[in-house]
């Protein structure tokens, strides 16, 4: 983690971002609920982190996550928040570009090497506003569990209340932010790209019982199209990092350890909680299996079509062949089925277009990235099946449904 000062972003703008964020979390519950995304890929998601299923620690945080690049989204409330977000995200992206240039040079590469290789210009930028209410029993809760961030660099500002801690040599160090500074976390993609020279830092957030804390973390990553591998000049004969897809939702399912790491990272920049991730991956696996099945059926159909053509051509008077032909005819008079399948596939992108999240260039038509039909299909399926998961501890410390903004209602029990 580093602290950046003299970054050129006006203090007044940073204050407006924090005030606007406070304004957002101050909205009435029904108003905020308008932005309560249903699925991890929704471009705007307001929600609450609350996980009691396994751990005995409670996560004490509300959040708003917005995909702001390559396509800009923002909540329509409170007034002017959108403009402020836009201005801040532009500025913070410029700072990130400069930092990445410096990092690239620090690795002995050309200044633009990292930016070009990882297609950062069309990379993702996610605005994550965190609200940690003061907590009656802070020793039993965490704002955010230990994690590393998933992308390249996450730039954080906060109101005057501390709580961020970084792990250093096995110990948790409290981060004292300098006034008007940006706190910068190095992410997993940077660790891979630098072949381990820049480690992604592990951090967590603790809460307190006096003042609510607000932080705004803006995460920056490569184009989701990019395969993140160690920069070739940094590759050594041994101990190389394994390349990974910038975003595993883009058509490939991660291995268990990768999944674990990604989930940790995702918690960090708060894409998903663990259950949601696992659920997503298991659905994606099923979809991939279904896709394979569909492909093999289509291949079989193609083969039978050719065979039919061949048999028709040969015009054999042979009885057996007659029988075969009429059998094939029967099958392929149901040939209409085939164009239907094909039609629905080729139309997929259009159908799902409106549901596409903008953060992922893969799904973003403006960036001409189409064809991830199984993911698109996954999005659709998940949209239908995904139920928001908000929980409340009842008096017997069981877990059940809960409304958002639960902090006031909940008694902590371990
Ligand atoms: O609230 C903070 O200071 C840190 C937030 C964070 O770690 C994250 O959003 O990944
Ligand atoms: Fe983080």
Mutate to test the pocket of ligand 1, among 203, 211, 216 (most ligand atoms within 8 A of CB): 203
Residue 60 CA to ligand 2 center (angstroms) comes to 15
- The band of 337, judged by pLDDT with boundaries at 50, 70 and 90, is very low
For the segment 272-285, what is each residue's pLDDT rounded down to a tens digit? Answer: 344 444 454 455 55
In-domain check, residue 378: yes
Domain tally for the chain? Answer: 2
Whole-number percent of the chain with pLDDT over 90:
48
The alpha carbon dihedral of 405, 407, 410, 414 has a sign of positive
Are both 266 and 362 inside the same structural domain?
A: no
Contact 225, 250 (CB under 8 A): yes
Are both 391 and 266 inside the same structural domain?
A: no
Query: Mean pLDDT, to the nearest integer, of 284-295?
Result: 58
Residue with CA nearest ligand 1 atom 9: 269
pLDDT at 310: 66
Are both 384 and 249 inside the same structural domain?
A: no
For the segment 351-403, what is each residue's pLDDT rounded down to a tens digit? Answer: 222 222 222 221 222 222 112 222 222 222 222 222 222 222 223 333 333 33
pLDDT at 59: 83
In-domain check, residue 381: yes
Cα(188)–Cα(228) distance, rounded to whole angstroms? Answer: 10
Nearest-atom number in ligand 1 for the CA of 149 is 10
pLDDT at 32: 96
Residue that is last in its domain, among 242, 272, 302: 272
Nearest-atom number in ligand 1 for the CA of 269 is 10
Q: Which residues line ligand 1 (CB under 6 A)?
A: 128, 130, 144, 149, 154, 156, 158, 164, 203, 205, 215, 217, 268-270
Residue that is last in its domain, among 225, 246, 272: 272
pLDDT at 411: 41
Q: What is the 3-state secondary structure (H, E, C) of the chain?
A: CEEECCCCCCHHHHHHHHHHHHHHHHCCHHHHHCCCCCCCCCCEEEEEECCCCCCCCEECEEEEEEEEECCCCCCCCCCCHHHHHHHHHHHHHHHHHHHHHHHHHHCCCCCCHHHHHCCHHHCCEEEEEEEECCCCCHHHEECEEEECCCCCEEEEEECCCCCEEEEECCEEEECCCCCCCEEEEECHHHHHHCCCCCCCCCEEECCCCCCCEEEEEEEECCCCCCEECCCHHHCCCCCCCCCEECCCCCCCCCCHHHHHHHHHHHHHCCCCCHHHHHHHHHHHHHHHHHHHHHHHHHHHHHHHHHHHHHHHHHCCCCHHHHHHHHHHHHHHHHHHHHHHHHHHHHCHHHHHHCCCCCCCHHHCHHHCCCCCHHHHHHHHHHHHHCCCCCEEECCCCCEEECCCCCCCCCCCCC
Residue 330 CA to ligand 1 center (angstroms) comes to 62
Are both 127 and 220 inside the same structural domain?
A: yes
273 class by beta-carbon count within 10 Å (0-12 exposed, 13-18 middle, 19+ buried): buried
Residue 218 CA to ligand 1 center (angstroms) comes to 9
Residue 246 CA to ligand 2 center (angstroms) comes to 17
In-domain check, residue 107: yes
Domain CATH for 72: 2.60.120.330
**Range of the structural domain that residue 392 is part of:** 335-413
- Cβ-based neighbours of 176, under 8 Å, separated by 6 or more: 162
Lowest mean pLDDT among 52-66, 129-143, 227-241, 328-342: 328-342
In-domain check, residue 286: no
In-domain check, residue 281: no
Are both 169 and 254 inside the same structural domain?
A: yes
Are both 48 and 127 inside the same structural domain?
A: yes
Are both 111 and 195 inside the same structural domain?
A: yes
Ligand nearest the Cα atom of residue 177: 1
Lowest mean pLDDT among 184-188, 298-302, 372-376: 372-376
Cα(129)–Cα(121) distance, rounded to whole angstroms? Answer: 23
In-domain check, residue 396: yes
Whole-number percent of the chain with pLDDT over 70:
58
Are both 266 and 394 inside the same structural domain?
A: no
User: Is the pLDDT at 344 greater than 60, yes or no?
Assistant: no
Residue with CA nearest ligand 1 atom 5: 217
Residue 64 CA to ligand 2 center (angstroms) comes to 14
In-domain check, residue 277: no
Residue that is last in its domain, among 256, 272, 288: 272
ipTM metric: 0.99
Are both 254 and 359 inside the same structural domain?
A: no
pLDDT at 247: 63
Are both 175 and 46 inside the same structural domain?
A: yes
Mutate to test the pocket of ligand 1, among 127, 129, 154 (most ligand atoms within 8 A of CB): 154
In-domain check, residue 345: yes
Are both 266 and 349 inside the same structural domain?
A: no
Are both 202 and 348 inside the same structural domain?
A: no
Nearest-atom number in ligand 1 for the CA of 204 is 7
């Amino acid at each position: 983690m580093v602290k950046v000062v003299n970054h050129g972003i006006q203090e007044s703008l940073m204050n407006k971002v924090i005030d606007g964020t406070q304004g957002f979390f101050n909205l009435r519950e029904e108003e905020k609920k308008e932005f309560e995304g249903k699925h991890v890929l929704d471009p705007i998601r307001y929600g609450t982190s609350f996980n009691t299923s396994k751990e005995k620690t409670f996560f004490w945080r509300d959040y708003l996550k917005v995909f702001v690049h390559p396509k800009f989204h923002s909540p329509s409330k409170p007034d002017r928040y959108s403009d402020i977000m836009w201005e801040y995200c532009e500025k913070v992206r410029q700072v990130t570009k400069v930092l990445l240039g410096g990092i690239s040079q620090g690795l002995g590469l050309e200044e633009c090497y990292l930016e070009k290789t990882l297609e950062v210009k069309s990379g993702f930028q996610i605005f994550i506003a965190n609200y940690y209410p003061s907590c009656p029993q802070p020793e039993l809760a965490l704002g955010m569990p230990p994690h590393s961030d998933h992308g390249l660099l996450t730039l954080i500002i906060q109101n005057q209340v501390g709580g961020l801690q970084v792990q250093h040599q096995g110990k948790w160090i409290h981060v004292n932010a300098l006034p008007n500074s940006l706190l910068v976390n190095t992410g997993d993609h940077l660790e891979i790209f630098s072949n381990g020279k820049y480690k992604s830092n592990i951090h967590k957030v603790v809460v307190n019982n006096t003042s609510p804390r607000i932080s705004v973390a803006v995460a920056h990553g490569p184009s989701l199209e990019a395969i993140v591998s160690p920069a070739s000049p940094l590759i050594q004969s041994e101990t190389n990092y394994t390349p990974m897809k910038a975003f595993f939702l883009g058509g490939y399912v991660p291995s268990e350890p990768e999944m674990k790491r990604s989930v940790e990272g995702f918690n960090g920049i708060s894409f998903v909680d663990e259950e949601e991730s696992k659920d997503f991956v298991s659905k994606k696996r099923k979809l991939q299996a279904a896709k394979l099945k569909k492909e093999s059926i289509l291949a079989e159909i193609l083969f039978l079509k050719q065979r039919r053509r061949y048999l028709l051509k040969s015009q054999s008077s042979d009885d057996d062949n007659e029988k075969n032909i009429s059998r094939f005819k029967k099958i392929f008079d149901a040939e209409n089925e085939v164009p239907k399948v094909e039609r629905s596939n080729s139309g997929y992108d259009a159908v799902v277009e409106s549901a596409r999240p903008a953060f992922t260039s893969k799904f973003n038509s403006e960036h001409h990235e189409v064809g991830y039909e199984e993911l698109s299909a996954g999005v659709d399926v998940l949209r239908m099946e995904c139920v928001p998961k908000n929980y409340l501890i009842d008096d017997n410390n069981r877990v059940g449904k809960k409304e958002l903004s639960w902090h006031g209602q909940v008694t902590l029990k371990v």
